[in-house]
Amino acid sequence: MKGTNLGEFEELVLLVVVARPEDAYSVAIARTILEVSNRKVVHSVVHASLNRLNKKGFVTSEMKEGTAERGGRSKRVYKVTAAGMRALEDVKAQRDKLWNMISPAGLVKVYG
Amino acid sequence: MAEVKNHKPPRWADKFLEWYCSPDQIDDVQGALYEYFFERVNDGRVKEARRMFVIDVFTHFRPHIIKRNRQQYRNNNITMLKNNIKISVRSLWKHKLTTVLNVLGLTIGISCFMIIMIWVNNEKSFDSFHSKADRIYRISNTFTSESEQFSQAPSGPALGAQLHKLYAQVENGVRVGNNSAQIRVGDNNYFENNMAIVDASFSEVFDFKVLRGVPSDFFKEINSLVITESIAKKYFGSDDPIGKLVTMDGQFPMTITGLMEDPPSNSQIQFDMLISMEFVKSNWNQPNMDDNWGGGWFHTYLLLEDGVDPKVLQEDITRFIKDKLTWFTERNMSYAYFLQPIKSIHLESNLRYDFGNNGSTQNVSIFTAVAIIVLLLACINYINLTTANAVKRSKEIGIKKVMGALRKQLFAQYLVESVLVVLFATALSIGIVYLSLPQFESFIGYTIPFEPGTVLIGIVVMSVIILGVVSGLFPAATISSFKSLDVMRGKLSSGSKGGRIRKALVIFQFTATVILIISIITVSRQMNFILNQDLGMATHEVIAINFRGIQEVRDNSQVLTDRLLENPQIKAVSFQRRAYPVGGLSNGTTMVETGDGNKVSSSLYHMWVDTEFDDAFGLEMVAGRFFSKDFPTDTLQAIVVNEAAVESFGWGQPEDAIGKEMGGQNVRRVIGVVKNFNFEGLHKQVEALRILPALGNNYGTMAIRADLSNPYDLLRSIEDTWAEINPTVPLDYSFMNDDIKDQYETVFSFRSIFFFFSTLSIVIACLGLFGLATSATNQRIKEIGIRKVLGASTSGLIQMISTDFLKLVVLSSILAAPIAWYGMEEWLSSFAYRISVSWIYFVGAGILAVLVSMLTVSYQAIRAAYSNPTKSLRQE
């Protein structure tokens, strides 16, 4: 299901949108990702994945008035949709399921 | 902050971003990049900021934010076009009646247009197949004597023989004469009426296709004959004709040296076989022919050098020849020569002894006008029906507009629809034209080359697509301009949109129709008038026999006459020098004593006939007597003239003409005056004519006057007698009435074509009216229902609906009258014998138009008036 699949980076971006709704535009999202994961992301990558999320229907967007540091240009502010929320929850549920499958002994064995 | 503001991201990168980024993304992206840029500048990393800005601009260059380029827009349009076509097909299917009327009207219109244009194209293409056509001119002349003036196509033989040797401007010259011959192949005898006498330069000037033989060697031997393919087939079947021997006119052995393709139908020079001028010179006893500058012998064509001004050259030639023709000049007679471009001759030349297959500019323009009118009518039909029908579709348009359709898009959709209809009609028309062209050819009497895929068809198809756009433009504009709010409220009524223009178009349509009806009436009256015109001869009783002066028949003329007269059905037998009448009379110069006793030069028509001619053709004498066997001196001293001659020489009363002198060296005296009889066809006035006695050894044709009530027995008896007395000569006879009809062949084919296309255009106009009436009544169906409920009578309703249309038709008739009157007067002026345009034609045409439109409209009116009001009022 390519259309609704959530890529790793997309998941990250979407999580930021959910976590920081007040700062959910491309530059701020990139900044947050930098803060959280210490990953230096290029703006175009963030922008592209936001576009993809939009296409998949996980986010909606709205143009907001720009600030002086943007040279007056307005910005696109994103908001998660119900479908986006569900996708995040699905991913989390899958991960949890897998985490739960791992017995503490197994963990030791792997590292051992 | 002020310091920050002084820095700006690299302009070129910024521009590049603006160029490629799609409009709905640019603010977001550009803003973000500015944000980074100024953040870095704030941190003091100006260089890095600039560098990163450029990198960002480039890394953003990805498909999802790139502005949709033109290629992609086109793809989008193709999708829209597909959608438009789909919707168009559906709506055309839904409104079947309108669609059928539209396609029918357009198909008829386009077919007519195409056929007429193919014909016009063919008429205009005459003689342009010669590769040197632009430089080929025919030299013709205007002869002037003291008593008359006329222009003729043929000129003296010296012109074609010598001009190209005398003038540097003339590259080559060729003479073309027409003759008939009797050809014997083995035991079979054939009469050939279409033998051309040509110079050896024939193939150098003209480009008639040679199939076998070498053109330059065609006439190396004097007794050579070149034949066409169809003659070769007739004589020899599939055998190779080259080198075959045939006998011409019973005495000349001729070798076939060449095989030509049949001349194309769009050639003024038509021939079945060719013999050379040299042959004529030596066998017609004309050794000095090439030095004879006067008269009208052969059609003479000159091939001019590049850039020669024909106007200047013709003046030179006229002056030069005047000096040569001292005999004429002394008698106050002169020739003025003029050069006619070969390509213009077919349509523009109308001279004495011109080619029989000549067309006329008038006919070409009449038919072009008819073609355009028919096409225009079809267009108007389409426009009217579509706009009228648009009201039905107003809800569709309203919804589309509400859903956000732009006017442009609706416009495109209706345009697509009309182009679709026109394309369909065109495809049908091409099929119809292809199938009906043979019929049309038999109609007009000659073939028109038609190859689909020629430039012609390309032009037609192009113009038809343009047609689709033109006829679709107005409906599309009207329909797409509907206001969605009005549409939804049901405010739109039939009259509101383009009603006035529609009315104007209907008026135009019916004006054209009434004009055509008036033309049909006038043309058919004129034709009947011509046919029933008294030629002054008993043509209905005459059988003409052409034996082409074969000596055997001449020798047996007396026996033949006696034997034929034994048959009680036969009243008279007469011999003449050449086939008379109608048409093809030659003329010659002479001196004539006028009414006041002077002698003037003149050139008038002449014929040589025997003493029985007046009986055989039923001529009436108004004064004096005809030639008689009782007066042996007649053969040398007598001459008979017609009434026209009496008038043109100012002799006063016919009785006063008796005894007047005519002739130069051999003076003859007038012994009688015959009542005018028409020997040149009825588009020409009867001109002065002298009738001379023919000597027995000059006979070439004969005429039998007989009671034709039982033609079968009569012909069998004639055939038997002929075969008995002249066993080796084929009997070539014709009924004179048929010959006369053949004279009017072109006029008749003109009539048939004109009638056919006019009728079609009337049909188209009626189709349009029918469609309009249908949609008008449909729109008023509720009104009619309410009127019925309130007590309106059926007849009153029918009247109400019909009056609207009748008003338009009556107005059209009034508009049509003056135009038709002018046009018909113009057309009739080309006939010497003509009817005058009567007001009855106009009234008749008007009544006819009203009747036809009543019939068309009344069906709808009656249907609406009788409809049940509960049905029409139930909804809403």
| Radius of gyration over every alpha carbon of chain A, rounded to an integer in angstroms | 17
Give the number of other CB atoms < 10 A from CB of residue B647: 15
CA distance B59 to chain A (A): 6
Q: Please give the Cα distance from B470 to B20 (Å, whole number).
A: 38
Contact B62 A42 (CB under 8 A): no
| Integer Cα distance of B541 and B707 in angstroms | 6
How would you classify the pairing of strands B273-276 and A75-80?
A: unpaired
Buried b (16+ CB within 10 A) or exposed e, B60-86: beeeebeeeeeeeeeeeeeeeeeebee
Cβ-Cβ contacts under 8 Å, B59 against chain A: 42-45
What pLDDT, on a 0 to 100 scale, did the predictor assign at position B395?
A: 76
**Residue B547 neighbours by CB distance under 10 Å:** 25
Find the CB nearest A70 among B31, B55, B64: B31
The count of CB pairs under 8 A between chains A and B is: 62
**B747-757 pLDDT, tens per residue?**
777 788 888 88
Residues of A in contact with B33 (CB under 8 A): 43
Is the minimum CB–CB distance between B65 and chain A shorter than 8 Å?
yes
The pTM for the full model equals 0.69
Distance from CA of A75 to the nearest CA of B (A): 5
Nearest beta carbon to residue B34 from set A44, A47, A71: A71
Mind listing the pLDDT tens digit for each residue in B414-429? Answer: 888 888 888 888 888 8
pLDDT of the residue at B409: 80
Domain boundaries, chain A: 8-111
> B36, A71: Cβ pair inside 8 Å?
no
pLDDT bucket at B683, cuts 50 / 70 / 90? low
pLDDT of residue B312: 92
Gap from A79 CA to chain B (nearest CA, Å)? 15
- Name the token pair of B794: 């059926």
Give chain A's contact residues with B (Cβ, < 8 Å).
Answer: 25-27, 42-45, 47-48, 51-52, 63, 66, 68-71, 73-76
Which of B367-371, B381-385, B483-487, B561-565 shows the lowest mean pLDDT across its residues?
A: B483-487
Amino acid at B712: Y
**Residue B43 touches chain A, beta carbons under 8 Å:** no
Nearest-by-Cβ selection for B28 from A26, A45, A48: A26
Q: Where are the alpha helices (DSSP H) in B546-696?
A: 551-555, 557-565, 613-617, 634-637, 643-648, 654-657
What does the DSSP 8-state code read for residue B357? T
Inter-chain CB proximity B62 and A48 less than 8 Å: yes
Residues from chain A that touch B62, judged by Cβ atoms under 8 A, are: 44, 48
Q: Say yes or no for a CB contact (<8 Å) between A43 and B31.
A: no
Residues of A whose CB is below 8 A from B31: 66, 70-71, 73-75
Q: How many helices and strands in chain A, by DSSP H and E? A: 5, 2
Name the DSSP class of B155: B
What ipTM does the predicted assembly reach? 0.85
Model confidence at A1: pLDDT above 50: no
C-beta neighbour count of A13 within 10 angstroms = 30
Distance from CA of B789 to the nearest CA of A (A): 59
Q: Do A74 and B56 touch (CB under 8 A)?
A: no
B708 in contact with A, Cβ within 8 Å:
no
Residue B655 forms contact with A (CB below 8 Å): no
Mutation site, B35, B40, B54, B56, interface A, largest A CB count within 10 A: B35
Average pLDDT over residues B852-856: 83
What CA–CA distance (Å, rounded) separates B820 from B804? 25
Please, which residues have CB within 8 angstroms of residue B703's CB and are 6 or more apart in sequence?
A: B542, B543, B544, B545, B573, B574, B576, B613, B616, B617, B736
Distance between CA B377 and CA B372 in Å, rounded? Answer: 8
CATH architecture of the domain formed by A8-111: Orthogonal Bundle (1.10)
Per-residue model confidence (pLDDT) at position B71: 47
Identify from A27, A41, A51 which residue to disrupt to test chain B contact, counting B C-beta atoms within 10 A and taking the largest count: A27
Given a cut of 90, is residue B338 above it in pLDDT? yes
Q: Do B28 and A69 touch (CB under 8 A)?
A: no
Q: In this structure, are residues B425 and B106 in contact, taking their beta carbons and an 8 Å threshold?
A: yes
Average pLDDT in the B272-290 region? 88
Q: How close is the nearest chain A Cα to the Cα of B79, in Å?
A: 22
Q: Which residues of B touch A69 (CB under 8 A)?
A: 34-35, 38-39
Candidate from B271-280, B373-382, B562-571, B583-592 with smallest mean pLDDT: B583-592
What is the spatial distance between Cα B386 and Cα B97, in angstroms, rounded to a whole number?
11
Q: What is the CA radius of gyration of chain B?
A: 39
Q: Which residues of A touch B20 (CB under 8 A)?
A: none
B55 contacts in chain A (CB < 8 Å):
42
CB spacing of A42 vs B36 below 8 angstroms: no
Residue to mutate among A25, A47, A59, with most B CBs inside 10 A, is A47
Tokens of B373: 């009118």
% of residues, chain B, pLDDT over 90 = 20
Chain B neighbors of A74, CB-CB under 8 A? 27-28, 31
Using a CB-CB distance cutoff of 8 angstroms, which residues of chain A are in contact with residue B34? 69-71, 73
| B522-536, B543-557, B592-606 — most confident range | B543-557
At B117, the amino acid letter reads M
Contacts of B683 (CB under 8 A, 6+ apart): B747, B830, B831, B832, B833
Does B237 contact chain A (CB < 8 Å)?
no
pLDDT score of B1 more than 50? no
For residues B787-807, average pLDDT: 85
Q: Is the CB of A70 less than 8 angstroms away from the CB of B34?
A: yes
> Cβ of B291 under 8 Å from any chain A Cβ?
no
Optimal mutation site among A62, A73, A74, A77, interface B, most CBs of chain B within 10 A: A73
Is beta strand B188-198 parallel, antiparallel or unpaired with respect to B210-212? unpaired
CB contact under 8 A, B60 and A47: yes
- Mean pLDDT within B79-87: 79
- Residue B826 at interface with chain A, using a CB cutoff of 8 Å: no
How far is CA B17 from its chain centroid? 65
3-state secondary structure of B666: coil
pLDDT for B516:
87
Mean pLDDT, rounded, for B191-216? 91
pLDDT attached to residue B209: 92
Cβ atoms of residues B416 and B468 within 8 Å: no
> Coil, helix or strand for B729?
coil
Q: How far is CA B142 from the centre of its chain?
A: 28
Long-range contacts of B496-504 (CB under 8 A, 24+ apart): B497/B387, B497/B390, B497/B391, B498/B387, B498/B474, B501/B474, B502/B383, B502/B384, B502/B387, B502/B388, B502/B772, B503/B808
Do residues B678 and B687 make contact, with C-beta atoms less than 8 angstroms apart? no
* Cα dihedral value B573, B577, B580, B583, nearest 10: 170
Q: Does B252 touch chain A (CB under 8 A)?
A: no
> Shortest Cα distance from B86 to chain A (angstroms)?
29
According to DSSP, the residues that pair with B171 across neighbouring strands are none
Cross-chain residue pair A47–B38, CB shorter than 8 Å? no
Q: Determine the pLDDT at residue B102.
A: 86
A 10 A CB-CB count for B19 gives 10
Strand, coil or helix: B322: helix
Nearest to B599 by CA among B142, B144, B147: B147
% of chain B exceeding 70 in pLDDT: 93
Contact between A71 and B30 using a beta-carbon 8 Å cutoff: yes
Q: DSSP 3-state assignment of B263?
A: coil
Higher pLDDT, B126 or B683: B126
Does the structure show a pLDDT above 80 at B443? Answer: no
CA angle in degrees (0–180, nearest 5) for B595-B596-B601: 75
Half-sphere exposure of A34 (CA within 13 A, CB side): 11
Closest chain B residue to A26, measured at CA: B32
Distance, in Å, from the CA atom of B853 to the CA atom of B769, rounded to the nearest integer, reads 7
Q: Is the pLDDT of residue B10 over 90?
A: no
Chain B nearest-CA distance from A8, in A, is 20
Q: For residues B583 and B681, give the distance between their C-alpha atoms in angstroms, rounded to a whole number.
A: 7
A95 Cα to chain B: minimum distance (Å): 31
Asked if the model's pLDDT at residue B255 lies above 90, the reply is yes
Alpha-carbon distance A7 to nearest alpha carbon in chain B (angstroms): 17
pLDDT tens, position by position, B605-628: 888 899 998 999 888 899 899 999
Q: What's the average model confidence in pLDDT over B810-834? A: 88
Q: How far apart are CA B288 and CA B161, in angstroms?
A: 11
Residue B36 in contact with partner chain A when CB distance is under 8 A? yes
pLDDT at B589: 76
> Pick from B27, B55, B56: which is nearest to A74 by CB?
B27
Alpha-helical runs (H) found in B269-406: 277-283, 310-324, 326-330, 342-348, 361-390, 394-402
Cβ contacts of A75 on chain B, cutoff 8 Å: 27-28, 31-32
What's the mean pLDDT when you consider all of chain B?
A: 84
pLDDT score for B527: 82
B154 residue type, one letter = P
pLDDT at B451 > cutoff 80: no
Q: How far apart are CA B625 and CA B591, in angstroms?
A: 22
Per-residue pLDDT reduced to its tens digit, A35-78: 888 888 888 889 989 988 988 889 998 888 877 778 788 888 99
B114 phi and psi, to 5 degrees? -65, -45
* pLDDT tens-digit readout, B487-541: 666 655 544 555 677 788 888 888 988 888 898 888 888 888 877 777 788 888 8
Query: Which residues on adjacent β-strands are paired with residue B338?
Result: B140
- CA atoms B534, B535, B536, B541: torsion sign: negative
Min Cα–Cα distance to chain A from B22, Å = 13
Three-class DSSP category at B764:
helix
Q: What is the mean pLDDT of residues B250-270?
A: 91
SS percent in chain A: helix, strand, coil, step 5:
65, 10, 25
- The secondary structure of A9-43 as a DSSP string is HHHHHHHHHHH-GGG-SHHHHHHHHHHHH-----H
Per-residue pLDDT, B142: 92
Strand-pair partners of B624: B672
Task: Tell me what the pLDDT averaged over chain A comes to.
Answer: 84
| Per-residue confidence band for A112, with pLDDT thresholds at 50, 70 and 90 | very low
B733: contact with A, CB 8 A cutoff: no
